[in-house]
Each structure stands twice: as structure tokens, then as C-alpha cells.
Amino acid sequence: MVWGGISYEAYTDLFIFDKAAVNLHRYIEEFLQEHVIPFAPFIGQNFVLMHDSAGALVARSVTEYLNEVGNQTLPWPARSPDLSPIEHIWDTTSKDALEPGY
């Protein structure tokens, strides 16, 4: 799994999970606590996390943790890549990565 965070004013480095399964504990401890929550202050009070509906990402423990740290979430738009801003970034990035000399 690869994750990237974007906003109008900032972006994160890409975070790549190793090949082991991403369970809710890894998602909270290795990802949310270390990468997402520290990024939130750069955005400010309007920080909203948008993640897809994969099992570990929407587990009750994850939702409770995000509520506990005061993070808002936005549901991933089903079958609507045009409403998912990161999809445009992935599209551009994958095209650039295929260019000779990249």
C-alpha cells in the first residue's frame, strides 16, 4: 500500500507499507500516529482525512482513534475518481515514472 497526503498548501512524502498485511493495529501505529497526525498541524483546523473503505481503514478502533485525536474523516467516493484528488496525483506520477530517464 502506498499513501500520500496532499492539500492546497502542503504535501507529504510517500509512505509505502511493506508487503505484510495492513491490519488495523499497523494502520494506527505505523501510519496514522507516525505520518498522518503529525501532518495535520500543517493543514490547520480544517484537516480532514480521506481514506478508502478497506477493512482495516474503517475498523471501529481506527474510527475511535481518529475521533480521540480530533480528526475528521471524509468517506471515499465510490467509483468517482474525479472526486478523489489524490487519484489525479497518482495518474500524473505514474506517467512521469514511466518516462525514460526518470
Q: State pLDDT tens for residues 13-72.
A: 888 877 777 788 888 898 889 888 888 887 777 778 877 777 777 788 888 888 898 887
Q: What is the pLDDT of residue 8?
A: 75
pLDDT at position 84: 67
d(CA 40, CA 35): 9
pLDDT of residue 54: 72
Please state the pTM of the whole predicted model: 0.65
pLDDT digits (tens, 9 = 90+) for 75-92: 776 776 666 667 777 777
The region, left, alpha or beta by phi > 0 then psi within -120 to 50, assigned to residue 44 is: left
Decide: helix, strand or coil at residue 25: helix
* Cβ(60)–Cβ(54) below 8 Å: no
CB burial of 89-98 (b: ≥16 within 10 Å; e: otherwise) equals eeeeeeeeee
Task: State how far the alpha carbon of 96 is from the alpha carbons of 52, 53, 89, 99, 102, in Å.
Answer: 24, 28, 11, 5, 7
Q: H-type helices in the chain, by residue range?
A: 24-26, 37-43, 60-68, 85-97
